[in-house]
Amino acid sequence: MSLADTKLIVPQLVADTAEDVISQLADKLTENGFVKDSFKAAVLTRESKFPTGLPTGAINVAIPHADAKYTNESKIAVATLAHPVKFRNMADTTQELDVSLVFMLGIHEAHGQVATLQKIMSLVQDQAHLQKLLGMTTVDDIFADVDAFLSDLKFED
């Protein structure tokens, strides 16, 4: 089972706020049955208390997520943003970051979230890879890249 899915890839997502980005990606996960209806509210609540913006360099990333109990199946929604959107910094919640790439985790396996976060952290530390992802304009290109990168992460739901 792949964590990536073409139905969950959004190139050049148009949004003005972090809440809008989260809402649009959570809706994709919900509409496709990968998460429970309560997932979006759980992610928004978690993000307000524990922000997920990462100051990774020229290209900043956010990794919004919620607990496994809000999911049905492990999947990751990915969006490149049409223009950077402000997310609060995970390390300094008083600071806002201009985020260009968002990975929303809906991980169902109890121990899978830590492994997935570690894997994504290795990706977001590679600015050249992030630049390549941001330059991709099709669902298929982004899916192929993300799917290949995440291919060694396997969970039993």
What does the alpha-carbon distance between residue 19 and residue 25 come to, in Å, rounded to a whole number?
10
Q: What is the mean pLDDT of residues 139-145?
A: 96
Which domains are assigned to the chain? 6-149 (3.40.930.10)
The tens digit of pLDDT for each residue in 95-128 reads: 999 999 999 999 888 777 777 878 888 888 899 9
Per-residue confidence (pLDDT) for residue 157, from 0 to 100:
46
Higher pLDDT, 139 or 150: 139
Q: Residue 41 — pLDDT band, cuts 50, 70, 90?
A: very high
- Give the torsion sign (CA, 87, 123, 111, 55): negative
Per-residue confidence (pLDDT) for residue 91, from 0 to 100:
93
The model's pTM is 0.94
